[in-house]
């Protein structure tokens, strides 16, 4: 999946290693992180999707990208759009089915 932030197109890819890193860092399953209403959950998921193509990406850098995305799209609209896009990418990668979790609407 591709995500445009500013003038840059980012490849979002959820891999086993990235999801394992997320679960180790948050002590939560990817489905649980997806359901978090806080921005920290969205930032963590964005980082997880970006890390495969951007190995040096930090949480702080992912937060700056999240901030830029929310500024471009409006806070509530951007948050909703990004949450849906990340949920779709996670689902397409097969992680939600493996946990018996449905993506949020």
**77 occurs within a structural domain:** yes
**105 occurs within a structural domain:** no
Domain count, the chain: 1
Q: Model pTM? A: 0.89
**104 occurs within a structural domain:** no
Instruction: For residues 53 and 93, give the distance between their C-alpha atoms in angstroms, rounded to a whole number.
Output: 15
11-50, pLDDT tens digit by residue? 999 999 999 999 999 999 999 999 998 999 999 999 999 9
Q: How confident is the model at residue 96 (pLDDT cuts 50, 70, 90)?
A: confident
39-65, pLDDT tens digit by residue? 999 999 999 999 999 999 999 999 999
Q: How is residue 86 written in tokens?
A: 């990340």
């Amino acid at each position: 999946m591709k995500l445009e932030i500013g003038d840059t197109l980012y490849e979002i890819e959820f891999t086993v290693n990235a999801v394992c890193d997320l679960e180790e860092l948050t002590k939560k399953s990817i489905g649980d992180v997806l359901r978090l209403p806080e921005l920290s959950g969205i930032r963590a998921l964005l980082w997880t999707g970006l890390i495969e193509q951007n190995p040096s990406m930090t949480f702080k850098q992912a937060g700056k990208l999240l901030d830029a995305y929310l500024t471009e799209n409006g806070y509530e609209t951007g948050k909703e759009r990004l949450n849906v896009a990340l949920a779709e990418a996670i689902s397409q990668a097969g992680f939600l089915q493996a946990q018996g979790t449905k993506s949020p609407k």
